[in-house]
């Protein structure tokens, strides 16, 4: 699953882990505490605004988990876990066990200049809104954006595992025993933490890579329809905005 996972802080209001995936380290915080969530958000905004990227191009990988064995069409279970990843930092927020959903999280998800990226992210955003009244303002579907950038329309129907290989050449495991595990548990297992961290991290990485690839595509294909396949769908305006702001930060 992961090359290595190390539990560095245990108990209290949070658990901290180091997850190594494809020789890269992910620093993960697992919590159900609203103040820990607020601190993570504030640290993320500070780091990206003053140390690495401007806030106008902040890309955040977003993923969710729920206990699928309890899922029925007429009685869907609520989202249990929200994963957010920016850079090498990941937050796993156990929504189901949090007595308070912090306003800082609502503001963060609704920020006008932050792009939240994921595969099938519209569904994730819809579920967060329905279950917790958390509204994600700027969603970028990585399947659509990857299809547009690489001019492979069939990628629009692929999942994270396939897209991670096509875009990043990285192997993302999806073991059934983890996918179908008890995500509503009060204490997540190390393998669950690794799985959740990697999915959010890979989403973030694909967001950065496809944003750079999309910049040229958005500009060139807007000049003339002759450069665009009739079956190729243009990405959303938020995708093109993400691409433009990301390139500005690399100049």
If one counts the domains in the chain, the total is 1
User: What mean pLDDT comes out for the span 200-213?
Assistant: 89
CB-based burial label for 109 (10 Å; 0-12, 13-18, 19+): buried
The pLDDT tens digits of the residues spanning 214-243 come to 665 555 555 444 333 334 444 555 555 555
Hunting for tokens 């008890």 — which residue is that?
182
Output the pLDDT for position 152: 87
Label residue 33 left, alpha or beta by phi (over 0 means left) and psi (-120 to 50 means alpha): beta
The pLDDT tens digits of the residues spanning 105-140 come to 999 999 988 999 999 999 999 999 999 999 999 999
**Alpha-helical runs (H) found in the chain:** 34-50, 103-109, 121-132, 142-150, 160-163, 176-179, 190-223, 237-250
What percentage of residues in the chain have a pLDDT greater than 90? 55
Output the pLDDT for position 251: 42
CATH of the domain at 44: 3.30.420.10
User: What mean pLDDT comes out for the span 12-23?
Assistant: 92
Strands 89-93 and 24-31: parallel
- Report how many helices (DSSP H) and strands (DSSP E) the chain contains, helices first: 8, 8
Residues paired with 117 in a beta bridge: 61, 140
The pLDDT tens digits of the residues spanning 149-196 come to 888 888 888 888 998 898 889 998 899 999 999 999 999 999 999 999
Let me know the angle formed at the C-alpha of 192 by 191 and 198, rounded to the nearest 5 degrees. Answer: 90
Output the pLDDT for position 184: 95
Q: For residue 85, what are the domain limits?
A: 4-250
Is-above-0.85 flag for pTM?
Answer: no
The whole-angstrom separation of Cα 227 and Cα 199 is 33
């Amino acid at each position: 699953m992961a090359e290595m996972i190390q539990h560095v802080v245990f108990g209290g209001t949070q658990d901290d882990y180091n997850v190594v995936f494809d020789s890269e380290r992910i620093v993960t915080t697992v919590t159900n505490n609203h103040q820990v969530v607020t601190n993570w958000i504030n640290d993320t905004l500070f780091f990206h605004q003053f140390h690495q990227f401007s806030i106008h191009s902040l890309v955040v990988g977003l993923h969710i988990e729920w206990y699928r064995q309890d899922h029925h069409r007429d009685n869907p279970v609520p989202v249990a876990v929200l994963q957010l990843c920016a850079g090498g930092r990941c937050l796993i927020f156990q929504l189901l066990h949090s007595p308070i959903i912090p306003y800082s999280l609502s503001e963060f998800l609704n920020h006008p200049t932050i792009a939240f990226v994921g595969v099938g992210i519209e569904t994730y955003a819809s579920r967060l809104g329905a279950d917790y009244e958390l509204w994600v303002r700027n969603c970028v579907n990585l399947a659509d954006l990857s299809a547009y950038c690489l001019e492979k329309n069939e990628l629009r129907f692929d999942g994270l595992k396939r897209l991670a290989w096509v875009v990043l050449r990285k192997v993302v495991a999806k073991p059934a025993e983890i996918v179908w595990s008890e995500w509503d548990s009060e204490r997540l297992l190390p393998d669950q933490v690794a799985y959740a961290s990697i999915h959010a991290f890979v989403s973030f990485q694909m967001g950065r890579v496809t944003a750079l690839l999309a910049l040229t595509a958005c500009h060139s294909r807007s000049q003339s329809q002759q450069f665009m396949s009739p079956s190729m769908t243009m990405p959303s305006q938020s995708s093109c905005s993400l691409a433009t702001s990301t390139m500005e930060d690399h100049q």
